[in-house]
């Protein structure tokens, strides 16, 4: 393997579901739950995963630490079966409604409407996380210059808002405030 023995990797599991929305810094808790929307909250959390990865990559690359975010796929778990069962596109919590929000945010219409390539067994859903952790072909990649995001073991484009360095720093500061601790990296 081509990795140096001193290389450290951070692999964050996110989702292409980040495309539902960005981080609402001015309303992070959805008006204390009053305006909560399950898919927008999910999208916000996955965008935060990618921004966190971006921040780590920007600050730790010079120390030999690589950071990646990824879409593991949609493993056929009970949660997946429950989510996919909600099929009414008029129900804002349904999977079709969430996918329509994601498609609307991609200027070229990607990802395609066919999710079959993301459907995985529980066992095969580990392929992309393992690839991120073990593949020497990723050596030297970093956010925000590269996508820093993997889907089905290949780089996948990330919308600019999810890898914005200023928002990554803003999220880092907010996270420190919320946990009441400062992290120097």
- Which residues of the chain register pLDDT less than 50? 1-3, 112-113, 143-144, 146
Q: Residue 143 has what pLDDT? A: 45
Pairwise CA distance, residues 18 & 47, whole Å:
5
Residue 177, pLDDT score: 96
- Cβ neighbors of 20 (< 8 A, separation 6 or more) are 39, 40, 42, 43, 44, 46, 98, 101, 102, 105
Q: What was the pLDDT predicted at 123? A: 87
Contact 69, 40 (CB under 8 A): no
Question: What's the pLDDT at 154?
Answer: 87
Residues in CB range of 58: below 8 A, 6 or more apart = 142, 143, 144, 165, 168
Residues in Cβ contact with 125 at an 8 Å cutoff, skipping those fewer than 6 apart: 72, 73, 74, 75
pLDDT at residue 180 in the model: 97
Q: How far is CA 35 from CA 6, 22, 38, 82, in A?
A: 46, 16, 10, 23
167 within 8 A of 44, measured Cβ to Cβ: no
Task: Encode 35-63: b = buried (16+ Cβ within 10 Å), e = exposed.
Answer: eebebbbbbbbbbbbbbbbbbbbbbbbee
Which pLDDT does position 158 carry in this prediction?
85
Residues forming a β-bridge with 74 = 119
Q: Are 53 and 14 in contact (CB under 8 A)?
A: yes
pLDDT of residue 144: 47
């Amino acid at each position: 393997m081509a990795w140096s023995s001193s290389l450290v990797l951070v692999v964050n599991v996110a989702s292409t579901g980040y495309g539902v929305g960005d981080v609402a810094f001015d309303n992070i808790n959805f008006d204390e739950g009053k305006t909560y929307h399950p898919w927008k909250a999910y999208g916000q959390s996955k965008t935060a995963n990618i921004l966190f990865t971006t921040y780590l990559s920007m600050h730790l690359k010079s120390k030999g630490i690589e950071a990646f975010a990824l879409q593991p796929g949609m493993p056929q778990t009970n949660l997946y079966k429950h989510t996919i069962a909600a099929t009414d596109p008029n129900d804002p919590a349904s999977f079709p409604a969430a996918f329509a929000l994601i498609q609307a945010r991609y200027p070229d219409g990607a990802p395609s409407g066919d999710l079959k390539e993301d459907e995985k067994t529980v066992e095969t859903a580990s392929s992309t996380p393992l690839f991120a952790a073990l593949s020497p072909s990723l050596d030297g990649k970093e956010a925000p210059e590269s996508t820093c995001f993997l889907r089905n073991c290949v780089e996948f484009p990330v919308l600019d808002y999810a890898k914005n360095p200023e928002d990554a720093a803003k999220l880092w500061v907010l996270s420190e405030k919320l946990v009441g601790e400062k992290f120097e990296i």
